[in-house]
Amino acid sequence: MSRPIPPGSTLGVLGSGQLGRMFAIAARRLGYRVHVLSPDDDTPTGQVADLEIRAAYDDLDAVAAFARGVSVVTFEFENVPAATTAACERFALVRPGGNVLHTSQNRLREKSFLTSAGIPVTPFWPVRSRGDLAAALAQAGTPAVLKTADWGYDGKGQAKLASADELDRVWPKFAGGESILESFIDFQCEISVVGARGADGSRVAYGPMQNSHVNHILDLSFAPAAVPPGVAAEAIEITREILRRLEVVGVLCVEFFVDRSERLMVNELAPRPHNSGHLTIDACTTCQFEQQVRAVCGLPLGSPRQHRPAAMANLLGELWQSAPPNWPAALAQGDVKLHLYGKAEPRIGRKMGHLTALAETADEAARRVLAARAALVGRRV
């Protein structure tokens, strides 16, 4: 194991959205400097970093210069080109490593890795042609979900097939690329577990968060999740095993379906902090972003202990459409915390910030955070 990277060093982030912003805030609190590279400027991360570099990810000369100026490079999103990662590795540590990104960037590679490790996943079939899709549908039955293998998030690049008659309608949007067909799961709920693995192999995990989505975008998360203790313990153990097998140095989120029989199936991996884990900032001893800093710098991991039940509600651009949000109304409750990401232009579906509420129960925290969000636009819930 390499020596720890001490406070005072400079950390590099590829990607400049809200996850990088919250990582940079945690890093600066621990005494680190932060450099960020992305194709944009005046970004959420750049606003709180020491240096913001605007360059394309395929500008390998700029990427190399960026890597020369930092001690370690990490990511705030996983869809970084392999050539970019390789250019960084010539001059700095890269955590998590390129092998982790390679696996998680492609749904077929990800599901195949999990299956080979004995991890339960949603049933899936590779699709590279119309004939593949027809054969897969015959095995999977309907409904089923067709997804692009690469670069999907927030429901993008996927389509539900309610019957085999929809094959010709759906296929033209996927022709010419690699896709994956997954059985449609009649699930009881969706949960996620955020875990971290240090450079020394140590692992920690937060208790499961329960998630609900609107238009494929995460809307509400609360913890503890409303699942039996045995299900929660199994989800944590699966997350720890994936961290070990992938040799992650950093943070990883595992998203699960819990079916009607209370069986777990992994839906997706995200080798970075996750939207559902934002509540750890206000609810836990060590938040997911500080864990990322600690892990990539080779420091001991922090306690994931949760002080109180909590809930997080996303703030999307729709809230700005009719008038500026009423911030005093949302913050009238002392246990509600506001986090805004510094994005100047609100757009439909764009994540502009989030609210967190703490309470005596997860249900009460969810009620409070939804009421606070409704108060932004004068609604009642």
Give CA–CA dist 160/181, Å, rounded: 10
**Is 123-183 CATH 3.30.70.3270?**
no
Mean pLDDT of 57-64: 97
Give CA–CA dist 16/205, Å, rounded: 25
pLDDT at 152: 57
Q: Record the tokens describing residue 26, joined without a space.
A: 């945690």
| Nearest residue to 44 (alpha-carbon basis) of 66, 74, 72, 24 | 24
**Is 187-375 CATH 2.60.120.200?**
no
Contact of 174 with 158, CB cutoff 8 Å? no
Contact of 199 with 183, CB cutoff 8 Å? no
Residue with structure tokens 């992650």?
A: 248
* Sequence ranges of the domains in the chain: 10-94, 123-183, 187-375
pLDDT at 65: 98
Indicate the pLDDT class of residue 155, thresholds 50, 70 and 90. Answer: low
Contact of 241 with 201, CB cutoff 8 Å? no
Contacts by 110-119 with C-beta closer than 8 Å and gap 24+? 110/268, 110/269, 111/180, 113/245, 113/246, 114/242, 114/266, 114/269, 117/241, 117/242, 117/245, 119/238, 119/241, 119/242, 119/266
pLDDT at 211: 98
> Domain 10-94 adopts which CATH fold?
Rossmann fold (3.40.50)
Measuring CA to CA, how many Å separate 338 from each of 313, 333, 366, 372? 10, 11, 15, 10
Largest CA distance in the chain: 61
Indicate the pLDDT class of residue 196, thresholds 50, 70 and 90. Answer: very high
